[in-house]
Amino acid sequence: MSDATDPWLIVGLGNPGPEYAANRHNVGFMVADLLAERIGGKFKRAQKAQAQVVEGRMGPPGPASRRVILARPMSYMNLSGGPVTALRDFYKVPTDHIVAIHDELDIDYGALRLKLGGGDNGHNGLKSMTKAMGADYHRVRFGIGRPPGRMQVADFVLKDFSSAERKELGYLVDRAADSVECLLAEGLERAQSAYNS
């Protein structure tokens, strides 16, 4: 079992490369980028994994502060499990101290849901992570809604947010980052009651 001194591994899921940067599928990267900014770090290449990482502390100074490793897998979404497992092993992170931040089709745009464990709901990043290390990690699910009309899911998630969505995106990414900080500082139940919508 994990204890308060164990580090946390916070993984923003997405695809590497500038052509994907503003896609709906990359909202996990967007939240990880903001968290890195908040702890004053810059992503650098991980030594032992195909990922970029930032190490630091999150939360108030003193005993309540948590050691964190923020990560962006550089393997493409559907292979995320390999880099995440390598980072987990290298940093000795218990699986229940891993948080995956990802886009979620079955939730309205901008709504958040935090949970521990569960299925992958067809999300290839989660599918890869669960196959590599089991399902007992936290998820911060960022709603992107369903594709309009007959648009294929794969096309929808690999498109940039619409101009209407972009008006709110900064605020929503900020709120998702707040929810991660709350999860680490106050636990899942408190974070769920404050941020689940």
Region 64-84 average pLDDT: 95
Confidence of residue 1 (pLDDT cuts 50, 70, 90): low
**Active-site residue, from 25, 102, 123, 138:** 25
Region 38-48 average pLDDT: 93
Q: Is 25 among the catalytic positions? A: yes
pLDDT of residue 61: 81
Range with lowest mean pLDDT among 58-62, 115-119, 145-149: 58-62
pLDDT of residue 2: 65
C-alpha 20/C-alpha 112 separation (Å) is: 22
One-letter amino acid for residue 121 of the chain: N
pLDDT digits (tens, 9 = 90+) for 121-164: 999 999 999 999 999 999 999 999 999 999 999 999 999 999 99
Question: Does this model's pTM top 0.85?
Answer: yes
